[in-house]
């Protein structure tokens, strides 16, 4: 398993850029196959150009990591609770995720 990376400030993958109680999601970058706390951490620590996963072509690829329990999931699994009208949370440990991450999906994924 790829360990979460970034300019981390705690063991639940919060980083210097994003560190609210809900900021415990890491997304995997296609370019390096690594999970990062955020795109700014990736850009600070890597020297290559960012490549994003396609949410249609790469549907089965695990691209999300829960910082609370380290569960790795596909994007669809990550969003599965939303289909039920529930809040965004880890399907494994039920830790709540920041719903505003959706504002940055286009940085991480080809939508």
Q: What is the pTM of this model?
A: 0.92
Q: Among 44, 47, 63, 42, which residue's Cα sits nearest to residue 110? A: 63
For the chain, give every domain's residue range. 25-110
Q: Say how far apart CA 107 and CA 46 lie, in whole Å.
A: 16
For the stretch 50-70, pLDDT in tens is 999 999 999 999 999 999 999
**To which residue do tokens 């830790």 refer?**
95
For the stretch 10-41, pLDDT in tens is 999 999 999 999 999 999 999 999 999 999 99
Q: Among 76, 59, 73, 86, which residue's Cα sits nearest to residue 25? A: 73
Question: Residue 29 is inside which H or E element, if any?
Answer: strand 25-29
């Amino acid at each position: 398993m790829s360990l979460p990376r970034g300019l981390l400030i705690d063991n639940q993958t919060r980083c210097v850029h994003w560190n609210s109680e809900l900021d415990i999601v890491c997304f995997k970058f296609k370019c390096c196959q690594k999970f990062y706390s955020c795109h700014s951490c990736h850009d600070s620590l890597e020297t290559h150009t960012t490549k994003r996963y396609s949410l249609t072509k790469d549907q089965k690829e695990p691209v999300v990591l829960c910082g609370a329990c380290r569960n790795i999931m596909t994007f669809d699994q990550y969003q599965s609770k939303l289909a039920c009208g529930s809040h965004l949370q880890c399907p494994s440990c039920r830790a709540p995720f920041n719903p505003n991450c959706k504002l940055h999906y286009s940085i991480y994924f080809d939508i």
